Amino acid sequence: MDIKYSKSLEKVSYVIRELVPIAKEVEKKGKKIIYLNIGDPLKYDFKTPSHIIDAYYEASVKGHNYYSESQGIRELRNAISRHIKKISGVDVDPEYVIVTSGVAEAINFIIRVFMDPGEEILVPSPSYPSYIGSPYLYYGKAVEYRCIEDEGWRPDVDDLRDKINERTRLIVVVNPNNPTGALYSHKALREIVDIAAEHDIPIVSDEIYDQIILDGQYTSLSSIAKDNLVIGLNGFSKAYLMTGWRLGYIYINDPTDRYKDDIREGILRQARLRLCVNTPVQYAGIAALEGPQDHIRDMIDKLRRRRDLMIKWIDENEFLTTQRPDATFYMFPKIINGLFRDDREFVINLLKEEGVFIVYGSGFGKLSGTMHFRAVFLPRDEIINEAMYRMSRFITRRIRMVAK
């Protein structure tokens, strides 16, 4: 009998890491790679704050090395509830906070709760790849709704409304946005909330970058949604520089009180299967939320300067253009003028010829991501300068080839 493999994996991919094998082959040939592909500040000159590390060590020494509650330790859930109130102004009962192994696990938990085969979730285009790929694990589908590039990647609410049908189970909002760095206005969020309420569709609000605001003001979607079911996703990887620690959480904000118990139970059924999140890390999470926050301000100061430096290079290149990101540490430039067949070709050839590793935009959604790329502006100034010089040299070389 032949071994059979699940067809659910055929459309699952994670573009951010997909080209790593090519990068490793280029490195073997002696070329130094500049990695602008992955949103991990700890790969650059950012460090986990010492009080968080100390808290992890102290928790281990005190014997907190056991299996903990599947929902997460009560002390951390209390701290998360206080943190949500501080950042978003929303009251969330700790009983409706579930601690997860990063936001990636949270995404899968939520999709599994709501999705059966043949059903759909609406995701922004461009969008974080997990939202595009994860529904296929459950024989569902991600449907992209357009974001308008020329308007700072504002969600196109008319396109969103047009794509709602009887199979739609969730509307996903990623604010601040990965990969564009867009920060949604109160008006844009209000429009999405109104559409969701009109059709009685839950909203998934991904808020992982809510503290990395470079310009403007962050508005929590939950603070606007007075009559909507909102499932918030957040974590410690970005603002608290704990990427490899894998600590995140889900919160359920249900002003109607109609759905929250069933959703909580659906999430916990899955959480029990994986037993628990790393217990000492949860104690470190308390220290992260309630300890010194100075590192966030320092990080934002660095990121603002590095963003402006990368934009300066792009503005000087007539074959690239970009919207200015107001949050996160991502930029999503557009490749113009038809020098390349597609964005994947641009990215792979840049990697092979110049050793600059970025991510092709269509991997974040073909509707709005095609002929774009995502780059992080996490590295030091001199590394950004070198990367952008190499990219400019690469484009110039392609212009000459086309001219021949």
Per-residue pLDDT tens for 239-251? 999 999 999 999 9
pLDDT per residue rounded down to tens, the chain (404 residues): 677 777 776 666 666 677 888 888 888 888 899 999 999 999 999 999 999 999 999 999 999 999 999 999 999 999 999 999 999 999 999 999 999 999 999 999 999 999 999 999 999 999 999 999 999 999 999 999 999 999 999 999 999 999 999 999 999 999 999 999 999 999 999 999 999 999 999 999 999 999 999 999 999 999 999 889 999 999 999 999 999 999 999 999 998 889 999 999 999 999 999 999 999 999 999 999 999 999 999 999 999 999 999 999 999 999 999 999 999 999 999 998 778 889 999 999 999 999 999 999 999 999 998 999 999 999 999 999 999 999 999 999 988 777 66
CATH number for domain 7-47+294-403, candidates 1.20.1740.10, 3.40.50.970, 2.60.34.10, 3.90.1150.10: 3.90.1150.10
DSSP 16: H
Tell me whether strands 373-376 and 34-35 are parallel, antiparallel or unpaired: unpaired
| CATH 3.30.43.10 applies to domain 50-290 | no
Cβ-based neighbour number of residue 86 at 10 Å? 10
Residues 6+ apart with CB under 8 A from 389: 313
Give residue for tokens 């070198």.
386
Alpha helices in 115-174 (DSSP H): 129-137, 157-162
Cβ burial, residue 169 (10 Å; 0-12/13-18/19+): middle
Could you tell me the end-to-end alpha-carbon distance of the chain, in angstroms, rounded to an integer? 56
Contact present, 48 and 400 (Cβ < 8 Å): no
Q: Where are the domains of the chain?
A: 7-47+294-403, 50-290
What residues form DSSP beta bridges with 145? 124
Residues in Cβ contact with 316 at an 8 Å cutoff, skipping those fewer than 6 apart: 392
337 token code pair: 């003028």
Give the type of residue at 2: D
What integer pLDDT is reported at residue 24 of this predicted model?
87
| Residue closest to 108 by CA, chosen among 270, 291, 337, 319 | 270
* Whether the Cβ atoms of residue 90 and residue 119 lie closer than 8 Å to each other: no
SS3 at position 353: helix
Structure tokens that stand for 265 in this block: 């139970």
CA–CA separation, 206 vs 192, rounded Å? 14
Reported as a single tens digit per residue, the pLDDT across 7-22 is 776 666 666 677 888 8
| Residue 301 CB contacts under 8 Å (≥ 6 apart), including other chains | none
Q: Structure tokens of 349?
A: 């050839």
What single string gives the DSSP state of each residue in 176-221? S-TTT-----HHHHHHHHHHHHHHT--EEEE-TTTT-BSSS----H
* 327 Cα distance to chain centroid: 12
* 368 neighbors 144 (Cβ within 8 angstroms): yes
User: Which residue bears the tokens 């569902």?
Assistant: 140
Chain Cα centroid distance, residue 96: 22
**DSSP calls for 309-348:** HHHHHHHT-TTEE-PPPSBSSEE-PEE-TT-SS-HHHHHH
> What is the greatest pairwise CA distance in the chain?
70
